[in-house]
């Protein structure tokens, strides 16, 4: 059969909803220890998305590029431990998608306020692309863009809703993807914002 754009994508709608309260409390706990910050890209631009991390490794930018590091350059401490609610949900999702051995060593927390966006990019800083990435969307709905293997390839657009979990593996793993500028709105749990968690096996 022919390959399609969604090969390797497993959308688990609303999977996070039963654990919403625990997840949000744990997001707050992590961000109290490792505050959100607007990382500056190697090109010198502050990202519109504010970020932090938990787990053994965290994604950071520096003058020379992007990398994973066990140390938070802002607090000069190790990243906060991965909360159990995060580990359990990411493993449940990965198992449902056919990756029963997935154990995330990194969770990137992205916070979008109105207008924040993420341009089309590939996630290539992880060591093993046979490992999937698990994403969890919370708060305001975002329009996600899912492209091909070149930045110029045509992208599909679809909404990601509060509670949606997606496992990106196989052929999906190296596709370009991004998020359109967040539209104004009010979410009962997260107000005028969206939080996205991405779970990775980075090291
Ligand atoms: C498809 N985050 O953190 S989550 C990122 O909504 C990132 O904050 C977006 O792209 C966000 O790198 C999108 C969905 C997602 C995450 C990683 C992927 C889709 C992906 C990796 C490969 C392919
Ligand atoms: Fe990405």
Where exactly are the structural domains of the chain?
A: 9-200
Distance CA(82)–CA(102), nearest Å, equals 14
pLDDT of residue 2: 75
Dist. CA 151–CA 121, nearest whole Å: 7
Q: Which CATH number does 9-200 carry? A: 2.60.120.590
* C-beta separation of 153 from 176 below 8 A: yes
Instruction: Give, using CA atoms, the residue closest to atom 23 of ligand 1.
Output: 173
User: What is the reported pLDDT for 100?
Assistant: 98
Give the Å distance between the CA of 169 and the centre of ligand 2: 13
Cα–Cα distance measured from residue 87 to residue 16, given in angstroms and rounded to the nearest whole number: 12
Give Cβ neighbours of residue 129 (< 8 Å, ≥ 6 apart). Answer: 173, 174
Contact 145 CB / ligand 1 (< 6 Å) = no
- 64-108: per-residue pLDDT in tens? 899 999 999 999 999 999 999 999 999 999 999 999 999 999 999
The annotation places the binding site for Fe cation at: 121, 123, 177
How far apart are alpha carbons 164 and 115 in whole angstroms?
A: 21
Residues in the annotated binding site? 121, 123, 177
pLDDT for 81: 98
**In angstroms, what CA-CA distances link 163 with 21, 48, 102, 141, 185?**
11, 23, 20, 10, 17
**Bridge-based pairing state of the strands 156-160 and 118-121:** unpaired
- Give the per-residue pLDDT at 168: 98
Cβ of 177 closer than 6 Å to ligand 1, yes or no, is: yes
pTM above 0.95, yes or no: yes
CB atoms within 10 A of CB 84: 10
Residue 146 makes CB contacts below 8 A (sequence gap 6+) with 5, 6, 9, 155, 156, 157, 158, 172, 175, 176, 177
> Ligand 2 centre and the CA of 77: distance in Å?
25
The segments of the chain whose pLDDT lies below 50 read none
């Amino acid at each position: 059969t022919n390959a399609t754009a969604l090969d390797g994508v497993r959308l688990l709608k609303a999977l996070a909803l039963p654990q919403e309260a625990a997840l949000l409390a744990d997001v707050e706990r992590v961000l109290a220890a490792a505050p959100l910050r607007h990382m500056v890209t190697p090109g010198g631009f502050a990202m519109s998305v504010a970020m932090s991390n938990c787990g053994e490794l965290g994604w950071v930018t520096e003058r020379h590029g992007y990398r994973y590091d066990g140390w938070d350059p802002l607090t000069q401490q190790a990243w906060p431990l991965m909360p159990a609610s995060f580990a359990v949900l990411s493993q449940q999702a990965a198992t449902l998608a056919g990756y029963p051995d997935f154990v995330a060593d990194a969770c990137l927390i992205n916070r979008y306020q109105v207008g924040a966006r993420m341009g089309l990019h590939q996630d290539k800083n992880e060591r093993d692309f046979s490992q999937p990435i698990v994403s969890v969307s919370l708060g305001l709905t975002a329009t996600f863009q899912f492209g091909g293997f070149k930045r110029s390839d045509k992208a599909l657009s679809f909404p990601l809703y509060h509670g949606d979990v997606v496992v990106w593996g196989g052929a999906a793993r190296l596709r370009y993807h991004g998020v359109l500028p967040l539209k104004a709105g009010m979410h009962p749990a997260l107000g005028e914002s969206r939080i996205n968690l991405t779970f990775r096996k980075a090291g």
